[in-house]
Amino acid sequence: MANRKKLFFYSNEQVSYVEAKGYRLKITSFVVVLTVASLFVLGFVNNSYGDILGLGFKTTNELTTENTILKQQIKEMNEQMNNYYSSINSLAHSDNQLRSIVNLPKIDLETRQLGTGGAAIESFAGFISKDADELIGVSKQLLHKLNKEVEFQRTSYEQIYQQYEHNKVVFSSMPAIKPMVGTYSYHGFGLRNDPLIGSLKKHEGVDIHGDVGTPIYATGDGEIEFTGPTGSGYGVALMINHGYGYKSWYAHLSKCIARSGQKVKRGTLIAYSGNTGRSTGPHLHYEVIRNGEKQNPVEYFVDDVDYEKIRAQLVDNRK
Ligand SMILES: [Zn+2]
């Protein structure tokens, strides 16, 4: 047991040193009072200036509230993103409709989902609560899918647009109108009785009967490949190369207007009908050739042709 030190003070009354008794109790009381007062002061300071001083009790309360609000907000944003995802997904249907309009293959849902699949998402497990980690995981996954989906759709629209532009050129190049006003003999494609020989012979075009000098128009955009006398039964003839494997052939002409190498538009006046070559009467012999194979031109005619309208369009195009 340590020797407890005693405290003495000099008493003038007793003219001697007197032991001071009860001073420990006084000191203890003083310390207790001081501690309680300090706690009150600390509490006040923490409440008023805790954030600044980093003492923390108020900060913890606020962070808890903030955390609850943040989680709720992330939940709501996830719902919203889910809605966006559904909306974009519903574009898949109209996307396929557009694709089929321009002759592009449709994209089935499986392929689409493969292209917009999920990704490995970083986990914060161990640092934050499990439900918060899950919420953030869902957010990131949704954002990733949204990004992919938008990119997928953008690519598809780009393809559709390019195909549409391509189709416009192809369609305007296709020999698709009737070349001349007149009487069309539609039964004439394939084997038929040749009026001049009197036996079956291949006839691989359509004959259009009309007076000599009837205007003949280019049936599609292209470049004149040949004009002039053929030296064969076709007489004076003209060939347009439309590109994409298509050519059109006009025979028994009286006069060619277009020159070889000239670019023509659908509806451009290219020649006048006649009765040259091996012909039984004034008519235009018209052929459509695709990749070297003669086609039935009738299958290429798009309805009845309004020449005036087409010519007006041509004039418009030149403006
Ligand atoms: Zn013919």
For residue range 304-318, list pLDDT tens digits in order.
656 666 667 666 665
User: Distance from the CA of 53 to the center of ligand 1, in angstroms?
Assistant: 102
* Domain assignment of residue 83, yes or no: yes
Per DSSP, helices labelled H in 54-196 are 57-101, 109-115, 130-173
User: Distance from the CA of 205 to the center of ligand 1, in angstroms?
Assistant: 6
Instruction: Please state, as a whole number, how many other Cβ atoms lie within 10 Å of the Cβ of residue 317.
Output: 9
Give the DSSP H or E segment for 44.
Answer: helix 23-53
Query: Which residues have a beta carbon within 5 Å of ligand 1, which is an ion?
Result: 205, 207, 285
Same-domain check for residues 188 and 269: yes
Instruction: Please state, as a whole number, how many other Cβ atoms lie within 10 Å of the Cβ of residue 290.
Output: 15
Provide the β-strand partners of residue 287: 249
Q: Residue 132: which domain range?
A: 71-173
* pLDDT mean across residues, the chain: 87
Among 131, 155, 173, the domain boundary falls at 173
Rg (CA), the chain: 48
Residues in the chain: 319
How confident is residue 73, by pLDDT bands cut at 50, 70 and 90? Answer: very high
How confident is residue 106, by pLDDT bands cut at 50, 70 and 90? Answer: very high
Same-domain check for residues 123 and 41: no
User: Distance from the CA of 20 to the center of ligand 1, in angstroms?
Assistant: 144
The dihedral through the CA atoms of 105, 110, 113, 119 has a sign that is negative
Same-domain check for residues 231 and 313: yes
Among the listed ranges 178-187, 241-250, 261-270, which one has the minimum average pLDDT value? 178-187
Same-domain check for residues 311 and 192: yes
For residue range 121-141, list pLDDT tens digits in order.
888 888 888 888 999 999 999
* Domain assignment of residue 242, yes or no: yes
User: Distance from the CA of 130 to the center of ligand 1, in angstroms?
Assistant: 83
* Domain assignment of residue 15, yes or no: yes
* Domain assignment of residue 66, yes or no: no
User: Distance from the CA of 269 to the center of ligand 1, in angstroms?
Assistant: 20
Same-domain check for residues 92 and 27: no
pLDDT of 108: 87
User: Distance from the CA of 192 to the center of ligand 1, in angstroms?
Assistant: 11
Among 173, 192, 217, the domain boundary falls at 173
* Domain assignment of residue 64, yes or no: no
How confident is residue 47, by pLDDT bands cut at 50, 70 and 90? Answer: confident
* Domain assignment of residue 61, yes or no: no
User: Distance from the CA of 230 to the center of ligand 1, in angstroms?
Assistant: 15
Same-domain check for residues 296 and 233: yes
Same-domain check for residues 99 and 158: yes
Same-domain check for residues 161 and 202: no
User: Distance from the CA of 195 to the center of ligand 1, in angstroms?
Assistant: 11
Please state the domain count of the chain.
3
* CB-CB contact of 73 with 133 (8 Å): no
pLDDT of 314: 64
Same-domain check for residues 167 and 192: no
At residue 35, what are phi and psi to the nearest 5 degrees?
A: -60, -50
- For residue 208, the domain's CATH number is 2.70.70.10
And the tokens for 131? 């439900």
Same-domain check for residues 310 and 198: yes
pLDDT of 251: 97
For residue range 14-37, list pLDDT tens digits in order.
888 877 777 778 888 999 999 999
Residue 74, classed as helix, strand or coil, is: helix
Q: With a cut of 80, say whether residue 252 has pLDDT above it.
A: yes
Same-domain check for residues 192 and 284: yes
Among 173, 204, 230, the domain boundary falls at 173
Q: With a cut of 70, say whether residue 53 has pLDDT above it.
A: no
Same-domain check for residues 193 and 303: yes
Residue 6, classed as helix, strand or coil, is: coil
User: Distance from the CA of 227 to the center of ligand 1, in angstroms?
Assistant: 18
* Cα gap 136→144, rounded to integer Å: 12
Listed residue (205, 200, 247) closest to 223, CA to CA? 247
